[in-house]
A and B are shown apart, each in its own frame.
Chain A
Amino acid sequence: MTEESKSAYDKQGWLNVLVRSRETSLVLLIVALTVLTTVLNPRFLSPQSLKDLMLNVSIIALLVLGQTVIILMRQIDLSISSIVGITAFFSGTLFVNHPAIPSMVVVLLAVLAGLLLGAVNAALIAWGKIPSLITTLGTLYIFRGANYAWVHGRQVNAVNVPGSFLAIGTSTFAGIPILTWIVLILLVVFSIGLRQYRAGREFYAIGSNPNAAVLAGINVSRLLATGFIISGAIAGLAGALWLARFGTVDATAAEGIELTVITSTVVGGVAITGGVGTVVGAVLGALLLSVFSSTLVFLRVPSFWQQAFQGAMLLLAIAVDAYLAYRHALRSRVKWSRV
């Protein structure tokens, strides 16, 4: 019996290996799209457009880091767009009211603000036992409403923001924008944290099998709370970086970005059912979606196709994830419940 299964395992072709390594297939797709576009419009690989691409992706990739932690636990955080909006305007207002304030202080305060807002989510989910879908749906509304009420037709103009802060969004180091460097460093931090540290592995455990996690002595409430606080803090940082990137912030900043972030994360291999996926994959997912929308622009295809493509990619990713889970269950002789 073992002999048969062994040969069956070996017989799995390159397609299967590809599908199983999400990261590899993502990289291949990105390369394919890049090649295709450059052939049709060489400006795609020009320094300015590469810089634009990296800047465009960076903020989403940052938010993806936080969302990965959440989705790994089989939760979801829809409120990130509102948190980014508030902290972006908050950062701008700090500069307007205190022109001499150091950039680091603004960034730290923005992170703190995001952390506090994330703590609201954490309290409602971990302590109030409200499912994360509903909580973050509610806070999405509430935070955005508060944002509109606070901003009320005003906006922060690039003129009010010190050049040194805006430079985070425009200047480069070794050809890569500073903003992107920040995200890359955090990517490494998250990657190591989730993989090598016990707390990181526990996030996976909760998403994989919540009941088993409880029985194994994991403090689920505490980890849930931590996850949402992390997500909020990340969103706070993203808000400060949004100001650096765009310079002008109004009440609609970052509206609607949560869908792109969640799609990127799931396309990147973080299964919506939790317990599976890596931050590297998730960031690659964000890169793929960004490259695709860039491709549309360079090929002069109306950007209307973008949303449909995002939806299709998400559905494909979910289907592949489910298939993989099914195959895994078969292989490990786990009873596959089809209900």
Chain B
Amino acid sequence: MKRPTITKITAVLFSLTLLGAAAYGQDKPIKKDLKLAFVPKNINNPYNVIETGGSMEACKEMGAEGKVVGPSDPSASSQVTYINTLITQRESAIVLAANDPNALIPYLKRAMAQKITVVTMDSDTAPEGRTIFINQATSEGIGQGQVQMLAKEINNQGEIAILSATPNATNQNTWIKYMQEELKKPEYKDMKLVKIAYGNDEDQKSFTETQGLLQAYPDLKGIISPTTVGVAAAARYLSTSPYKGKVALVGLGTPNQMREFVKDGTVKEFALWSPADLGYLAAFAAAQLASGNIRGKEGETFSAGKLGTRTIGKDGVVILGPPTVFTAENIDQFNF
């Protein structure tokens, strides 16, 4: 009988170690009485309230102490004060939806130096500022999906505009980048992006920006609004104007806010994910990191309560799942 080669033995041992590590991560329980802090982009936004609600629910399941703190205005400099306070209060972990990819890095690094786990969700920072990023879906998928949805409704031709949130929001700019790349494809050659407007996640500003878009660009055929505040405000304006049905609107919105506009024909379809699940997953990721069960490396897996086992991808990114598309047919099944 031939003796097994060194390579084979090493391979077997190696895979056993990996399995062991994976099982290790899955079996080890989450430490009790962790202090988790959730810092959304701003605390007055209904989407963020749902998101952090999911996080708090996760905390209850884990037996961890959770709290939601954050600014009223979605700016990075306002988030800094809260991060500093959380460092002083010696939280176990900070879960953050960042308003700017770079401005917060020095403060997050300080937190990590003090052994505080930093996880981002929804809107990322540059990778050196955090250990894990929970992305609601692949950014590429979100951007492409939005363009594809709109193109379908306007027959791949016409002027389009984007109504975004704040100009610096990491997630917004990432998605817009993928949208612009998607638009370069030959099948969209008759579609032209004429303007990116910013509603700052404020209802009234989004409303008047939509108004402005339609006034300044008489040939506008479609609007993409990848923000729940923006798409709701735009839909409201369109539904009481002569442009209803003539200018297509797609975006990322919550079913409850968009229901009446889908029913009255202003909007045919839009997408989103479950913000509550996003917050829930982020809480578990942070807790597992803070308990020392995982280290945030690619390939590691961890258990996330009712969302099952999750794997960490490249650059510490964990994907929640594909977005849901809402239409008149399925919108009544959802309540958030």
Contacts and interface: CB of A to CB of B under 8 A. Distances in A.
B260 A148 contact: no
Interface in B26-68: 43-46, 48-49
Contacts, number: 72
B65 to A, nearest CB: 20
A247 to B, nearest CB: 5
B311 interface: no
B223 to A, nearest CB: 15
27 contacts: A41-B216, A43-B215, A48-B241, A48-B242, A48-B243, A49-B215, A52-B211, A56-B208, A148-B44, A148-B72, A151-B44, A152-B43, A152-B44, A153-B45, A153-B49, A154-B49, A155-B203, A158-B236, A158-B260, A246-B236, A247-B236, A248-B232, A248-B236, A250-B44, A250-B202, A297-B212, A298-B215
Contacts of A151: 44
A278 to B, nearest CB: 29
Interface in A144-167: 148, 151-155, 157-159
B160 interface: no
Contact of B215 (A157, A252, A294): A294
Contact of B207 (A148, A152, A246): A246
Interface residues of A, number: 32
Contacts of B232: 157, 248
A289 interface: no
Contacts of B242: 48
Given A152-B44, A159-B260, A298-B215, 4 more contacts: A154-B49, A158-B260, A250-B46, A252-B204
Contact of A153 (B43, B207, B236): B43
Contacts of B308: none
Interface of B: 43-46, 48-49, 72, 202-204, 207-208, 211-212, 215-216, 218, 232-233, 236, 240-243, 256-257, 259-260
B216 A300 contact: yes
A170 interface: yes
Contacts of B44: 148, 151-153, 250-252
B240 to A, nearest CB: 5
Contacts of B233: 248
A-B interface, 3 closest residue pairs, ranked by CB to CB distance from nearest: A153-B49, A297-B212, A251-B44
A170 B238 CA distance: 12
Given A157-B257, A159-B260, A246 B204 contact: yes
A21 interface: no
A248 B203 contact: yes
Nearest to A251: B44
A56 B211 CA distance: 11
A253 interface: yes
Given A48-B241, A251-B72, A246 B215 contact: no
Contacts of A43: 215, 218
A295 to B, nearest CB: 10
Nearest to A155: B46
B209 to A, nearest CB: 9
Nearest to B207: A246
Contacts of A155: 46, 203
Nearest to A300: B216
